[in-house]
Homo-oligomer: A and B are copies of this chain.
Amino acid sequence: MAGVDVAGEFETIRRLFAPLAHPEWGRGLRDDVAVIPSKPGHDLVLTKDAIVEGVHFLPADPLDTVARKLMRVNLSDLAAKGAEPFGYLLACHWSERCGWPERMTFVDGLRADQKAFGVALLGGDTVVTPGPASFSMTLMGWTPKGRTVARMGARVGDLVFVTGNIGDGWLGLQAAQEKLTLEADRIAALLEHYRTPTPRVEFIGPIRAYASASIDISDGLIADLEHMAAASGVGIEIDLEVTPRSAAGQAWYDGRVDEQAALESLVTGGDDYEVAFSASPRDEATLRREAGRRHLRLTRIGRVTTGEGVVARFAGQPVTIDRSGFAHG
């Protein structure tokens, strides 16, 4: 917005960001706007997430992984809705530690994930802040008209599934804060998940085709299922023991004395960026086949019931999960 380029913002855009721009719709990042032609028969799906140094990422986190995490967190939102991502706008609020080498590192991360996920930069803004760095991304995708999968739509009798593993987001944060005692390769795997979670973009097709309701797991499995239950006007029952754990998660779990407390930590920790969704029992076999083809873990963790809220069972009995501090959405 300002004409004085003391902080090198014009130069940052021209040299670092312009090479990432969508060849047509981004206008070389030289025209203040992106212009996207309408796609007949499709809806445009948009999401926007922001991350702040010291809150959502650690000051020591490498900036390439910060960029990739920002993109992946947004990709996860679109994946859960069955939307095919194509592009994004980005606001960088650089801190004083973000000199030229750090900005290049950030852009390296973007470039890698643009290639991995088939998206391109469409525009944005780059500013400096005297405080900690923060970034926000507006990510866009397409769904066939009227086919965006919502939180709303779970029906009594549907089954509840989750992709991948639950708890690695929370364990990864503990690892990054050096609070975990585990073998080095377990720690490395958890750090990898914490820094670059895997959005389930590969499963967009089956989610779109078969999910009656869907949400990505950012607030924690229980909290996000509660959002889905509330939006759908139903209850959800899950079995804590069957929630899937990674090898590292299992290793951590095996070292716990209180199994129930350990499971509760995993299902309330958040930042998993897996997809939880409901689907009709008649589609279970197809969903398992689709997941198998992709070598993607898919676990049936529960069912949709009458009533409201989420009931979690441990050893067959409903348990009360202490989640003080959570706001119920």
State which of A124-132, A156-164, A181-189 sits at the interface with chain B: A124-132
| Cβ contact within 8 Å between B2 and A129 | no
Q: Which of B3, B32, B40, B325 contacts A326 (CB under 8 A)? A: B3
Bound complex: CA of A55 vs CA of B54, how far in Å? 21
| Distance in Å: Cβ of A307 to nearest Cβ of chain B | 20
Known A-B contacts A10-B327, A55-B128, A130-B54; the reply to A35 vs B30 at CB < 8 A is no
Contact A77 B32 (CB under 8 A): yes
Say yes or no: is A116 at the interface (Cβ < 8 Å to chain B): no
Task: Indicate if A283 sits at the interface (CB-CB under 8 A).
Answer: no
CA distance A131 to B2 in the complex (A): 21
Question: A131 touching B128 by the CB < 8 A rule?
Answer: no
Q: Among the listed stretches A78-86, A234-242, A244-252, which one makes contact with chain B, having 4 or more residues with CB under 8 Å of it?
A: A78-86
Q: Is the CB of A3 within 8 A of B268?
A: yes
Chain A 124-151 interface residues, beta-carbon cutoff 8 Å to B: 124-125, 127-132, 134, 136, 138, 143, 145, 148, 150-151
A73 proximal to B (CB < 8 A): yes
Encode contact with B along A207-242: 1 for CB under 8 Å, 0 otherwise.
Answer: 000000001101110010001000100000000000
Decide if A193 is an interface residue (CB 8 Å cutoff). no
> CB of A27 within 8 A of chain B?
yes
Copies of chain A in the complex: 2
Let me know if B150 and A2 touch, CB within 8 A.
no
Which one of A31, A90, A323 has the highest number of Cβ atoms from chain B below 10 Å of its Cβ? Answer: A31
Q: How extensive is the interface on chain A, given as a class?
A: 35 or more
- Which residue of chain B is the closest to A122 with respect to CB atoms? B46
Residues of B within 8 A of A128 (CB): 52, 55
Residues A151 and B31 in contact in the complex (CB < 8 Å), given A44-B44, A49-B1, A129-B134 = yes
A265 at the interface (CB under 8 A from B): no
When distances are taken between beta carbons in the complex, the residues of chain B under 8 Å from A91 are 48-50, 91, 136
| Contact A32 to B215, CB < 8 A, known contacts A43-B37, A138-B89, A325-B6 | yes
Q: Which of B46, B50, B215 contacts A127 (CB 8 A)?
A: B50
Q: Return the chain B residue nearest A227 by Cβ.
A: B30
- Top 4 A-B residue pairs of the complex, sorted by shortest distance between their CB atoms: A131-B131, A5-B327, A3-B219, A10-B327
Additional A-B contacts beyond A33-B77, A46-B122 (18; CB < 8 A): A1-B51, A4-B326, A30-B151, A32-B151, A32-B216, A33-B46, A33-B83, A35-B44, A46-B138, A48-B89, A48-B123, A48-B124, A50-B125, A52-B130, A54-B130, A55-B130, A93-B136, A136-B136
